[in-house]
Amino acid sequence: MAQIYIAFVDTPGFFAGVIRRTIKQKYIHVAVGLDPYLEEAYSIGRRHPSIPLIAGFEKEDKRKILRAFPGADYMVCSIECTVEQKEYIAKELREAMKRRFSYHYTVLGLPFILLNRPFYQKNHYTCSSYIARLLSEAGVCRWEKHFSLVTPKDFYEYKEKQKIFEGSLRELTDAVRKTPELKRMPVFHFARPAYAGAAYMKPGYIKTVRKRGMDYER
């Protein structure tokens, strides 16, 4: 088995506050990652973290986000999938990145979410509807509603995920900076309870074990 990772993001700001009040949840943005440290993660979101009105498909850059939002909080969850499903997701994300300027944020679709009416305009998504469609097409997640109606709250309430990190973006970024060898390790799954902070990310907690001839971290 393999894992894909969903990052839940809480950033300050006026627009974030509006969304937060609408969905009644702290985390108002989601991204999908191929590793638990979000070194390769993608979303429909701001093309530049400090400019909210220009949005589309982008690769997440934690360091740019941190400069724009020093107080940002993250929660990272894993969802199990097959190796083939993960390969499909990775291929789709990387292909979408090549055509990233063809994807846009669906401003017109927002009222339909409030009305609970499906609405889809080609290549226009919210952060959550894009990921919902991708994971559905990969056979990883199934929804009881049209993908255009899936919100970050639906991902937050998704029962098949496991929380592996919750804390500040600075903690997550510092963990990778202090242990650069982690970037080269195979994708792994923390076999530990959820933890609100970065202690499990510290070198003293990381062990490499041999399993079926491959290196894993746990």
- What residues does each domain of the chain span? 2-217
User: 77 and 162 in contact (C-beta within 8 Å)?
Assistant: yes
Predicted model pTM: 0.78
Cα dihedral sign for 98, 101, 102, 108? positive
Average pLDDT score over residue span 200-215: 33
CB-facing half-sphere around the CA of 28: CA atoms within 13 A:
18
Q: How far is CA 133 from the centre of its chain?
A: 14
192: pLDDT confidence band, cut at 50, 70 and 90? Answer: very low
pLDDT score at 23: 67
Largest Cα–Cα distance in the chain?
Answer: 52
Closest CA to 33 of 69, 5, 65: 5
What are the beta bridge partners of residue 166?
Answer: 75
pLDDT score at 127: 93
User: 169 and 37 in contact (C-beta within 8 Å)?
Assistant: no
In the chain, where do the E strands start and end? 2-10, 29-33, 41-48, 51-59, 73-81, 104-105, 124-125, 161-168, 208-211, 214-217
4: pLDDT confidence band, cut at 50, 70 and 90? Answer: very high
Say whether 196 sits in a helix, a strand or coil: coil
Return the percentage of the chain with pLDDT > 70, whole number.
75
198, pLDDT greater than 60: no
| Chain position carrying tokens 């609100």 | 196
Average pLDDT score over residue span 10-37: 80
Q: Which two structure tokens, joined as six digits, stand for 114? A: 């409030």
Class (C level, CATH) for 2-217: alpha beta
Bridging pattern class, strands 104-105 and 124-125: parallel
